[in-house]
Amino acid sequence: MIGRPGAWENVKNRQTTGLVKRDSYQILDIEINESIEKTLASGLCDLNEKDIPLHDYKDIPEFLQGNPYVTDGYRVSLPFNLCLKSMFIWTNETMNIWSHLGGFFLFIFFMLYDNIIELPNHQGTVADHLIVTAGLLCYQFCMLCSAGFHMFGCHSERASKRWLAVDLAGILIGVIGCYLPAVHYAFYCLSIWRDVYLFTIAALSALIVFVQFHPQYFSVHWFYQRISVYVGLVAYGVIPATHWYFLNGGWGSEVVQMFIPKVVVMYMLGMLAFTFYITKFPERVFPGTFNFLGHSHQWWHLIIVMAFAFWHSAGRELLYYQTRHECHV
Ligand SMILES: [Zn+2]
């Protein structure tokens, strides 16, 4: 049920009838009715309390529903400039936006630090620079897509669906960013298997992109199907990891003892994040208590950033191991 018609009805009507104002344009179904320069010039934090009213769960349109245990703090049908400004006020999405914007800047920092300091200190090759940079760019892309979804998802139903697609594409790229350096350095001396696994991961990713064209893919009814696709892609990693374990001589091998515990920790972090995501804990137990701080999606975001950072450092250790040891194959 929609509590307050006003702005929401206006945006909905404009979008369904195509009556977009002539001085506005659209990017990813966001109607830009005020230039970015004008928005920035007006001062991002310069907000009147009435500019962004926050709504209860019972008053928000269906496309914003999904977590009834977060009972308040919803932004509804904001224009572009207020979506942007809303990250500077306390809503139930503020932490979701900033946690992944923070992650984005963290991975930019890692990229600069690795390329300027770490890799030159370890005699990294051009290929090392490229692989490490590609992995971190994937993480950055994932973080930006997610922050964008949480910032602009409240604009309109169409924008929300479009940005959900962007967010999911970001997750796919983020998972590819986990596989790419790990497979490259784990199978450093076994280039045939490296190519087999990189090709398989590319093929699975292409298949996921293809599945996204199904008209039902982004609907609420396909929630579990969407999740299974990503869980499948992540779970696939057990196959190359197990194969790698045996190719390296099992637990007696130094590199196996170094890297396999990190694979286990990474999967445990992934499962922990996923548990928060799927169970909606802790707000399920205390509805309304964690509306602004501490609800499950914020834990999911935080653990994903930690998992990416952890996996990046694990990949770096594997790289240094491979550069210290010559291939004997
Ligand atoms: Zn999110």
211 C-alpha to ligand 1 centroid (Å)? 21
Please report whether residue 230 resides in a domain: yes
Is residue 322 within 8 Å of 188, Cβ to Cβ?
yes
Average pLDDT over every residue of 287-297: 96
Interval between CA 126 and ligand 1 midpoint (Å): 34
Residue 16: what pLDDT? 46
Q: Which stretches of the chain are assigned E, i.e. beta strand?
A: 25-27, 30-32
For the four alpha carbons of 286, 291, 293 and 297, in that order, the dihedral sign comes to positive
Distance in Å, CA 200 to ligand 1 centroid = 27
Residue 280, in any domain of the structure: yes
pLDDT for 3:
40
State the DSSP code for 31. Answer: E
Q: Are residues 178 and 257 in the same domain?
A: yes
Residue 103 alpha carbon to ligand 1 centre in Å:
12
Domain termination site, one of 62, 88, 114: 88
> Is pLDDT at 5 greater than 70 in this prediction?
no
Distance 271 CA to ligand 1 centre (A): 16
Residues 57 and 153 in one domain: no
- 174, 278: one domain: yes
What are the pLDDT digits (tens) for 134-178? 999 999 999 999 999 999 999 988 888 889 889 999 999 999 999
Domain final residue, candidates 63, 88, 113: 88
* Centre of ligand 1 from the C-alpha of residue 143, in Å: 9
- Look up the domain containing 177 and give its range: 94-324
**Which of 88, 107, 126 is where one domain is finished?**
88
163 and 51 in a common domain: no
The string over 90-118, giving b where at least 16 C-beta atoms fall within 10 Å of a residue's C-beta and e elsewhere, is ebbbbbbbbbbbbbbebbeebbeebbeeb
Q: Is 45 helix (H, G, I), strand (E, B) or coil?
A: coil
Q: How far is the CA of 164 from the centre of ligand 1 (A)?
A: 9
On whether both 81 and 126 belong to a single domain, the answer is no
Lowest mean pLDDT among 12-16, 59-63, 160-164, 321-325: 12-16
DSSP readout, 251-276? GGSHHHHHHHHHHHHHHHHHHHHHHH
Q: Supply 142's token pair.
A: 């994932």
Inside any domain, residue 1: no
Residue 10 lies in a domain: yes
| Residues 26 and 164 placed together within one structural domain of the fold | no
User: 143 with 287, same domain?
Assistant: yes
pTM of the model: 0.86
| Residues 53 and 33 both lie in one domain | yes
Residues 10 and 141 in one domain: no
Compute, in angstroms, the gap from residue 124 CA to the centroid of ligand 1. Answer: 35
Are both 99 and 83 inside the same structural domain?
no
pLDDT above 90 for 25: no
Residue 49 lies in a domain: yes
What are the residues whose beta carbons fall under 8 Å from the beta carbon of 312, sequence distance 6 or more? 107, 110, 135, 136, 139, 181
Q: Which single residue is written with the structure tokens 């999904």?
A: 66
The pLDDT confidence band at residue 216, using thresholds 50, 70 and 90, is: confident
Amino acid (1-letter code) at residue 109: F
Ligand 1 centroid – CA 303 distance (Å): 11
Q: Say yes or no: 72 and 123 in one domain.
A: no
Give the three-class secondary structure for 326.
Answer: coil
Residue 286 lies in a domain: yes
Question: Pick the residue with more confidence: 181 or 42?
Answer: 181
C-alpha of residue 258 to centroid of ligand 1, in Å = 32
305 and 210 in one domain? Answer: yes
The confidence score (pLDDT) of residue 142 equals 97
Over range 87-99, report the average pLDDT: 95
Residue at 329 is within a domain: no
CA of 175 to the centre of ligand 1 (A): 15
In this prediction, residue 20 carries a pLDDT of: 46
CA 188 – ligand 1 centroid, Å: 34
Taking residues 24-35, what's their average pLDDT? 65
The confidence score (pLDDT) of residue 17 equals 44
Within a domain: residue 64? yes
Q: What is the pLDDT of residues 270-287, one digit of tens each?
A: 999 999 999 999 999 999
Whether 12 shows a pLDDT value over 70: the answer reads no
Q: How far is the CA of 150 from the centre of ligand 1 (A)?
A: 7
Q: 93 C-alpha vs ligand 1 centroid, how far in Å?
A: 9
Give the pLDDT band of residue 316 (cuts 50, 70, 90): very high
The total number of structural domains that make up the chain: 2
Ligand 1 geometric centre to CA of 99 (Å)? 9
